[in-house]
Structure 1
Amino acid sequence: MATGSGNLRRTPLADTHPRMGARMVEFAGWWMPVQYGGIIQEARAVRENVGMFDISHMGRFHLRGAEAIPALETLTTNDVSALTDGAAQYSLLTNPQGGVIDDIIVYRLSSEHLLVVVNAANADKDRGWIQQHLPPSVTLEDATAQTAMIAVQGPKAVDLVSHLFAQNLAELPRFHVTSSRWSGHPVLVARTGYTGEDGVELIIDAPAAQLLWNALHEAGAVPCGLGARDMLRIEAGYPLYGHELNEHINPIEAGLGWVVSKSKEFIGADVIRRIREQGPARKLVGLEVEGRMVARQGYPVQVNGQTVGEITSGTFSPTLEKSIAMAFVNSEYARTGGEVQVDVRGKPVPARIVSRRFVSHV
């Protein structure tokens, strides 16, 4: 982990975090807060009340033009054409081999304007891939540097932001977006998140980001870092690129067949369709691991001493007070309730296969 910012990219809130006691680290080429008061306390704040995250490092691409929807339709697995104005969907960019280039969220702002939010580590790659496949009539604007993005998450998040914005955001359905204003500044409000809790994600012009962050804090939102965000997404069973997803992992084995259209054509569709029909060789599963030891990425999963899979992510869940993990396991062993062992530095630790949705309130 980096101990200095050096030439790392900085969000509009980068100077604010250290002043609030954040410990800063390098993440995907960005200088980001990993924690403030403590990862467990921050995770509990989100589960029980409301926390906020600087997620300005995530890429934000605006696609504009009459052919924007058809163009993105050929690149993504989900049905972009099914979106109405103000609706959003989770989706994937896939390569010709059926592997995942990235997992994304697509927001339809109008019939000729889409917002695509991508992972920070893949932003440059994604921008090039999308740009390469766009017709001349569709433009791509990368608004990452000009805006900030703040996630406000937790059972009281929507009420807090509604009060601050003087707008009843409880009326905004999940996976929908609306334009709003706060203190004279335009804000895009999306009812989306990555924690397994209700909440919103706010996009605001960079110069106003610190004012909004401070106002959210004063209203009661607890600043949270990447550590809590990772813990919460594992509890919710959400994939992280580089762990549960990469260009050699297909959506079916990753349990994401529900965001893959069975009818439309897109890059990699034939391969993915064949895997769906034949069944994947392995499946992504949840594990409850005995004791408090954390199962780390790369640890082997075994049955009777035979390796049948590998851990992708793990944590000790403060919500469940038990060790949990996700792992790819050979399909014949990937049944719920199955008993396996995790090889932790040569020591077999008992574990049980369970649903990946360890904790979810949405």
Structure 2
Amino acid sequence: MNELKRTPLYEEHLVAKAKLIDFGGWEMPVQYAGVIDEHHTVRTKAGLFDVSHMGEIDVRGEEALAFVQMLITNDVSKLEDGKILYSPMCYPNGGIVDDLLVYRYNSQHFFIVVNASNADKDYAWITEQAKRFNVIAENLSEQYAQLALQGPLAETVLQRITNYNLSQIKYYSFAHGEIDGVSCLISRTGYTGEDGFEIYVAPEYGRQLWRKILEIGANDGVKPIGLGARDTLRFEARLPLYGNELGAEITPLEAGLGIFVKLDKADFIGKEVLLAQKEQGIPRKLVGLEMIDRGIARSHYPLQKDGQEIGFITSGSFSPTLNKNIALGLIRADLDILGEILDVMIRGKAVKAKIIPSLFYKCDKQGGHSAKESGAMSEKISAK
């Protein structure tokens, strides 16, 4: 049995008496005070996440722009220096290798952030594709600790200990500055549907920043947040999770990510299949569901209509914000009708659910300059 990997903040999680679990081979905190309490902390104040398990891949070279453009479905040619782009990365059959963030330094230097459970697989895929280009791809994952401060008070709290004017960092942009005297890469990104920042720092400074942010944010109610609340927060905001809404057998068009698939750009991996799927009609769609009967629809539970299987649940949970049980399901596209009643098969029993709009939560707080913008990505994803 392989030993679980630990982030540079592992000792801090022990101090905070976190409940630790195996998450994609990492020993990570699933909760501290409790998932619902932590969820509301992020929605109303600000919460601090350890996301050091994420993968970071550096791409440099004369053909870096052309390489990344071929690698992903989105159009990186329109990305400005200092900006960030979200995109799926596909196999030739249109299935999703991963979804990722591309940070552009310049046309010859990009920084790619990938999901933790896919980091090794993604790096192998990227280096294999890079053989056709004059570029060097380097896995820098072990060179970073990553913290995420998310919530309406994130800017107010973080500004107290940084020399950089955070209001100058627009949504999906990044900059370099010092936090508590430590050099960091700071991006206005996150995975909660709230305004906030992700901070990349050398591993040896991770614990220092973790302690400092919790210390200076204590009076504002800032708390450490585990993976449990991270999942309910991203789920409410309709942000996809690899292995649930995304996978090798699901195309980005089926996952509702069509706005991030630029079929009018030059060739990219998977384009031919995705173009054909678009022209012939997308066979499956992600829909939002509200449970009518009692029960929680868990990932991969079958979905039926009139006794016939028509899809499956990708994510399901109790929503702390809405105070109801909701889910996302991948179903036959012709059944994507608001108000339609479906059966979720929970341990062989049919439990009723109703199709509803899939953007369950949209940030509308006015606290930070980009708080309103922070719902933009999830709103785009939910658009049909």
- TM-score, L = length of structure 1: 0.96
Report how far residue 171 of structure 1 moved: 2.6
The 4+ residue runs of structure 1 with deviation greater than 4 A are: none
Partner of 2:52: 56
Is 1:148 matched up with 2:145? yes
How many residues are aligned here? 358
Partner of 1:209: 206
CA distance, structure 2, for counterparts of residue 224 and residue 293 of structure 1: 26
Alignment match of 2:156 (pick from 155, 159, 162) = 159
Contact 1:153–1:193 under 8 Å retained in 2: yes
Partner of 1:355: 357
Any idea what the Cα deviations from partners look like across 1:155-211, whole Å, max 9, x if unmatched? Answer: 111221122214331231111111111233211111111111111100011111100
Report how far residue 282 of structure 1 moved: 1.1
Any idea what the Cα deviations from partners look like across 1:219-277, whole Å, max 9, x if unmatched? Answer: 22310111111111111111111111111111111101110012221011010011111
Partner of 1:187: 184
Partner of 2:291: 289
| Aligned positions of 1:62-101 closer than 5 A | 62-101=58-97
Any idea what the Cα deviations from partners look like across 1:101-138, whole Å, max 9, x if unmatched? Answer: 00001010222211100011111111011111215632
* Structure 2 residue matching 1:128: 3-state secondary structure: helix
Report how far residue 21 of structure 1 moved: 1.1
Is 1:258 matched up with 2:259? yes
CA distance, structure 1, for counterparts of residue 57 and residue 91 of structure 2: 19
CA distance, structure 1, for counterparts of residue 109 and residue 296 of structure 2: 44
Contact 1:285–1:328 under 8 Å retained in 2: yes
* Structure 2 residue matching 1:164: 3-state secondary structure: coil
Partner of 1:340: 342
The one-letter code sitting in structure 2 at the alignment partner of 1:223 is P
CA distance, structure 1, for counterparts of residue 121 and residue 278 of structure 2: 27
Identity %: 45
| Aligned positions of 1:170-181 closer than 5 A | 170-181=167-178
The one-letter code sitting in structure 1 at the alignment partner of 2:95 is G
**Residues 20 and 116 (structure 1 numbering): CA distance in 2 closer, same or farther, change over 3 Å?**
same
CA distance, structure 1, for counterparts of residue 334 and residue 245 of structure 2: 19
The one-letter code sitting in structure 2 at the alignment partner of 1:212 is L
Gaps of 5+ in 2: 364-374, 376-384
Partner of 1:46: 42
CA distance, structure 1, for counterparts of residue 17 and residue 52 of structure 2: 19
| Aligned positions of 1:263-282 closer than 5 A | 263-264=264-265, 265-282=267-284
Any idea what the Cα deviations from partners look like across 1:306-339, whole Å, max 9, x if unmatched? Answer: 2222111100001000001011111111122222
CA distance, structure 1, for counterparts of residue 136 and residue 162 of structure 2: 32
Partner of 1:37: 33
Any idea what the Cα deviations from partners look like across 1:37-72, whole Å, max 9, x if unmatched? Answer: 101101110011100111110101111122111111
Partner of 2:306: 304
RMSD: 1.4
Moved more, 156-165 or 226-235: 156-165
Report how far residue 214 of structure 1 moved: 0.4
CA distance, structure 2, for counterparts of residue 152 and residue 336 of structure 1: 35
- TM-score, L = length of structure 2: 0.90
Gaps of 5+ in 1: none
CA distance, structure 2, for counterparts of residue 269 and residue 250 of structure 1: 11
Contact 1:293–1:316 under 8 Å retained in 2: no
Alignment match of 1:139 (pick from 116, 136, 145) = 136
The one-letter code sitting in structure 2 at the alignment partner of 1:231 is T
* Structure 1 residue matching 2:10: 3-state secondary structure: coil
**Residues 291 and 166 (structure 1 numbering): CA distance in 2 closer, same or farther, change over 3 Å?**
farther
* Structure 2 residue matching 1:280: 3-state secondary structure: coil
